[in-house]
A and B are shown apart, each in its own frame.
Chain A
């Protein structure tokens, strides 16, 4: 994006003034008397005045054209800049929680690993400095105390950190436990995961990685499962939401719409997966041959096995689903059981 000026409103204001000046300049140019209507005047004066009026008129006409053209250009730039800014603001608002989920977990893991490695390194240095004296003359000897004080002097650190190093005594698990604050942050971040999963699932369903064939179906099935699972996780993690009937219905609708879409778009794949999972397709062959409306009707009617088929599909194609999708899909089963309580995941049940 090219920022021609800083603030769209200022650009728009300048554009409005500039465009507004064009007709005024046109009036000024028109008002300049032509040579034919000039009053009688001395010959030398007439020539100078005519020349000046011609030149002034040309300048004003050119200024008018410039004002109209550049004013319109500025107006468009201001408009696009405003649109860009609004999109940017919208994206920032939407992207914030996803950024939190996508980056913070990794960042927290890295930060945790780094801090543990630092504690381990400090412990190793402590052992190198103090260990020989302890081994030779005992932990309470003057030599051990000297070595300890020398280590502290050459490795200045906060008393709490030093205590953590000593208490952990080189045990990685103890050091991990000592990083409770990071774990707390991780829990907080985790609360955003279902929200990100819902949005990411919907986006993944509409724009699957693969646009054709079986892979598209698998991508969409995984995305639908991600959405359903995330909604379920959200419901499970926020009991108050479960009290709102619409939420549960929306979660169900996501699965149903996904089922309808996939039934029609991927009849063969649905058949393969459903047949592999049970007798649903064999018992309802018209679903595969009917128009989308029937598919939707049947999808609603047989939403439970469809939901099951979606989860089965996602689980079946583990090699194709990425790690993130699989992680959330692992929660999709329990989520579907939560949203559609009568579905027994792992075996087909008819409505």
Chain B
């Protein structure tokens, strides 16, 4: 689970890197004309999708790490019980 969490964090980081390379550039431009609204919405939606995906992956990684920690703790508790005289 920890390996998966690391992989998910890595993927989340690469997805976030895409967003950080595109979004500042997109927001620095001023769009005008009939296509401006569509473009702005499209880029805004794109930004939302990428950020949401990165957050989901980060949350999933956190969940996996917490689950792994709880599992380790449970195993340790069981081990202590097994060694109790």
Tally A residues with Cβ within 8 Å of B.
41
**A14-B29, A21-B18, A41-B67 known; A2 and B53 CB under 8 Å?**
no
Selected contact of B53 from candidates A17, A42, A59, CB within 8 Å: A59
State the Cβ distance, B36 to closest chain A Cβ, in Å. 6
Bitwise interface map of A from 27 to 62 toward B, beta carbon under 8 Å scored 1, else 0: 110011100001101100100110011011101101
Given A45-B67, A52-B59, A14 and B11 contact (CB-CB distance below 8 Å) = no
Against A, the Cβ 8 Å flags (1 = close, 0 = not) of B12-52 are 00110110011001101111111110010011011001101
Task: Determine whether A101 belongs to the interface, using a CB cutoff of 8 Å to chain B.
Answer: no
Q: Say yes or no for A25: interface residue by CB 8 A criterion.
A: yes
CB-CB < 8 A to B56: which residues of A? 52-53, 55-56, 59
**0/1 string, A278-292, CB within 8 A of B gives 1:** 000000000000000
**Which residues does chain A contribute within 8 Å of B57, judged by CB atoms?**
32, 52-53, 56
In the complex formed, the residue of B with least CB distance to A25 is B18
- Asked if A39 and B3 sit within 8 Å, CB to CB, the answer is yes
For the complex, what is the distance from the CA of A62 to the CA of B46, rounded to whole Å? 8
Within the assembled complex, what's the spacing in Å between the Cα atoms of A314 and B63?
A: 90
**With known contacts A21-B22, A24-B18, A4–B46 Cβ distance under 8 A:** no
Q: What's the least CB distance linking B12 to chain A, in Å? A: 8
Contact of A28 among B11, B35, B59 (CB under 8 A): B11
Q: Tell me, yes or no, whether A339 is within 8 Å of chain B by CB.
A: no
Q: Does A88 contact B (CB under 8 A)?
A: no
B22–A6 CB distance below 8 A: no
Q: At the interface, yes or no: A63 with Cβ under 8 Å from chain B?
A: yes
A275 contacts B by Cβ under 8 Å:
no
A125: Cβ under 8 A from any B Cβ: no
A17–B31 touching, CB < 8 Å? no
- Is A350 close to B, CB under 8 A? no
Q: How far is the CB of A140 from chain B (nearest CB, A)?
A: 70
Instruction: Chain B residues near A49: list those with CB within 8 A.
Output: 4, 60, 63-64
Among A17, A39, A53, A56, the residue within 8 A (CB) of B21 is A17
Question: Which positions in A face B, CB cutoff 8 Å?
Answer: 2-6, 10-11, 13-14, 17-18, 21, 24-25, 27-28, 31-33, 38-39, 41-42, 45, 48-49, 52-53, 55-57, 59-60, 62-63, 66-67, 70, 73-74, 77
Given A45-B1, A59-B56, output 12 extra A-B contacts at Cβ < 8 Å.
A2-B35, A3-B32, A14-B25, A24-B17, A39-B3, A52-B57, A55-B56, A56-B56, A60-B49, A66-B45, A70-B39, A70-B46
Residues of B at under 8 Å CB distance from A? 1, 3-4, 7-8, 11, 14-15, 17-18, 21-22, 25-26, 28-36, 39, 42-43, 45-46, 49-50, 52-53, 56-57, 59-60, 63-64, 67, 70-71
Q: Name 13 interchain pairs, CB-CB below 8 A, sorted by A.
A: A4-B33, A6-B30, A14-B29, A17-B22, A32-B57, A39-B4, A41-B1, A45-B63, A45-B67, A49-B60, A49-B64, A59-B53, A60-B15
